[in-house]
Structure 1
């Protein structure tokens, strides 16, 4: 049975993963379970005080298109999870969110936040979190009024 490891940089960031046919000891390797090894968020985690940690975001919208009239809105839901993509109900705080390059603070409580987005300009809107270990982005389409 193979042994699984995360390679840790000097600042604690996970920079790689590897498996060996038998246990292996090295100062920059941290043993993992098979489940941890298979997590897509592993390379966004950090290792401190004997624990892997990290924040990951997920953005979803109630619809993929809105009228570019400044009144029609989409509701965006922001979920904050850990590096294994489990909801982090203990996370509360402000997460910077960029909408078309304009950053606004979004207050998260219990790992969840909702906010609305409107547009007066047609086109593809990019909504993205900033400052997390694994940020999320979401695209929605703003169309000229009457084209929906």
Structure 2
């Protein structure tokens, strides 16, 4: 049976993962379960105090296109989870979000927030989180008024 490990840098960031047929002891290797090893968020986790931790975000929109009239809005849902992508209902606080490079703090409560995005310019809008261990990005198309 394989032995699974997270490779940890001196600052606690997980920088790799590996498996060996025999147990290995090394100061940079932390044993993890097979489930943890298979999580895509493992490479965004941190190891501190004997625990893996980290924050991840997910952005979804109620529609993929809006009219670039400054009125039509896309409702964006922000979810904040742990490094294993489980909703973190204990998370309440601001999350930095950028829309086309303009940053603002969105207040999440119990790991979730909803906010509206509008545009006056047609084109592809990039919406992204900043400052989390695993950030998310979402693209929404703004079309000329009357083209929808």
TM-score, L = length of structure 2: 1.00
Off by >4 Å, runs of 4+ in structure 1? none
Quick one: distance in 2 between partners of 1:17 and 1:83? 15
Q: CA deviation at 1:22?
A: 1.0
Quick one: distance in 2 between partners of 1:108 and 1:2? 40
Quick one: distance in 1 between partners of 2:82 and 2:118? 29
What is the RMSD of the two structures over their aligned residues, measured on CA atoms? 0.3
Match of 2:145 in 1: 145
Quick one: distance in 1 between partners of 2:96 and 2:35? 31
Match of 2:114 in 1: 114
Mapping of residues 60-139 of structure 1, within 5 Å: 60-139=60-139
Match of 1:5 in 2: 5
TM-score, L = length of structure 1: 1.00
What number of residue pairs does the alignment pair up?
148
Could you tell me which runs of 5 or more consecutive residues in structure 1 were left unpaired when the two chains were aligned. Answer: none
